[in-house]
Every structure is written in structure tokens, then in C-alpha cells.
Amino acid sequence: MTRKLNEASEQLIKQWEACILFAYDDFDPPSNRRRIKAGDKINGTLTIGYGHTGPDVRPGMTISQAQAEDLFDRDVGKACDIVERAVKVPLNDNQFGAMTAFVHNIGPTQFNSSTLLKKLNAGDYDAVPAELMKWVKSKGKRMQGLVNRRSAEAGLWAKGSYVQSAGSPVDKVRAPLINGKVAATASAVVSSGALAYVPQTGPLAYVLAGVLAVACLVGIGLYVWDRVKN
């Protein structure tokens, strides 16, 4: 059974493809999509819906929103199947979605022969974002739209908890609020005999005891606050 995309991955593809209900040239800038008619010059690839291409897309063609969604589901299903077959290492949902979005954009042939796939299957997860950023040209021209799209795919790849080259992610370990150094210092003060000079009785003893107690509380409070912030 083909693995399904999570919602974040599906929305990423739809965001970058947009939904165009007439046949257009994907080389045209998004702000100036031409409705391609028979005889019009096509500089890129004839496309319709959410980035759907193929021999079934013809000049002058239009589709409904429901048809666009159906084409999207079929195209994404094929891309998911390609990723499942080609990738030999574990992927979490975001990583799987990023690779599916990538395949949906560049096609299976280029993905299967890519250095990205070779490095990924060798277990080099960390190489994926940089490899994605190499795929930013169309017809030999660097396209800002592709730069932005690759950045979004790389962001999805790294989002949340993810599989890394060195194994499972390691949670950040916080130092204890009262560490060994602080405890040792306190112990040294007590054992040094410094407290022997504090009067044991009388008003002065109560005053000094109060001062020491406040100082200790303030010191501990400042230390705890510093640890919480960092």
C-alpha cells in the first residue's frame, strides 16, 4: 500500500504549484500565466491544475476544480510510490513529504539518477538540504521560484523531530539547577570553619543569620533564573 502524505507536505505542494484551471506554459512567471491556445509558442512544459503535465494536457484545455483535485491525487500518489521504491533508508513523515514534493516537481527520471538520492541511500541525511538547492534551474536559467521552492522543501525536511545521519536526534541536555560545583563550594564554606566567627547568641547573631539566609536565597534565586533562561 502506497504511503500517504501528511497534511503539511500536501499543502506545501499545493502552495508552490498553485491551481491553474487552464493549460499554461510553466516557464511563464506565476504573475503572468498565459492561457495557451493551439499554435502558441511554448518555452517550458504545458501544464494544468496543480502542476499536472503529460500527453493528456493540450493547448486550449480547461478543467474544473474537482478535476484538478483528482489529477493532484493521482500525481502525488505516483510520486509517493516512486519515493517508496527509490529510497532505501527510513524517512519520517516530513522527510517523506519533502522527497515527494521534490519528485512531483522534477520527475522520477531525474530523481532516480540524482546525487541527492545516492547520498540519502548512503545514510547521509544531512546532505539532503544542500543537494535540494542544486535543483533551481529551468532550461539552464536560475529561477527564483525554484530557489524558494527548494528552500521550502528543505525546511519541511528539517522540520520537527527527524532522522539524522548520526542516528536518532539527541534531546538538548540541560545542566542541573544546582550542579556539583555549586554544592562543593557551599560545602567548602561550611567545612572551612568560616562560620565559627559568627556569634552563636545575642541580637547580632540573629542579624547575621538573617543576612546570610537572605544572601543564600538571593544567590540561589539568581542562579536558578539564569539556568531557566539558558
Positions marked catalytic: 17
Q: 217: which 3 cell numbers? A: 536565597
CA 110, 116, 119, 122 dihedral sign is negative
Beta strands 46-49 and 141-142 are: unpaired
The Cα 88–Cα 115 span in angstroms is: 14
CA 27, 71, 83, 162 dihedral sign is positive
The Cα 193–Cα 187 span in angstroms is: 11
- Angle 152-155-161 from CA coordinates, rounded to 5°: 150
Q: 99: which 3 cell numbers? A: 522527497
